[in-house]
Amino acid sequence: MKLLITLLSLVFAVTVANAQEFKFKTENINYGKIAKGSDGIKIFEFTNVGDAPLIIKNVFSTCGCAVPKKPEKPIMPGAKGEIKVSYNTNIVGGFSKMFTIISNAKTERKTVKIKGFVVNNSLASK
């Protein structure tokens, strides 16, 4: 009997722990052509569509030229959150970077992407 109660408790805990889910407004941001040295900050907006608080544990980038900032507090069910990313626009040329998000959602790892092309200031308006 003790074993049955322990197993049921464990199944319940796992189910509750994995009830979080989030949906992004967009999972890909295209900067397009941007001028060298311009503002490289973009925001990935999401909503917690689960029924429990969503905790973003970590967000990391494929390189040091793109820096993510995660929410520090849990995102409650139905609430919106954001992950801010900053790309170093002093590097001229095309870029495509991926960010991996680690959370307590059903799918523990999620990826979002940015891409664009940094041009010399004199070419940005063309």
What is the predicted pLDDT for the residue at 97? Answer: 96
What is the predicted pLDDT for the residue at 123? Answer: 55
Q: Give the integer Cα–Cα distance in Å for 75 and 47.
A: 8
What is the predicted pLDDT for the residue at 13? Answer: 47
Assigned CATH class of 2-123 = mainly beta
Beta bridge partner(s), residue 33: 117
Alpha-carbon radius of gyration of the chain = 19
Per residue in 74-101, pLDDT (tens digit) is: 999 999 999 999 999 999 999 999 999 9
What is the predicted pLDDT for the residue at 33? Answer: 96
What is the predicted pLDDT for the residue at 62? Answer: 86
- Residue 76 carries which DSSP code? P
Map out the domains of the chain as residue ranges.
Answer: 2-123
Which residue ranges of the chain lie beneath pLDDT 50?
7-8, 10-17, 125-126
Kindly state the tokens that stand for 117: 């092309």
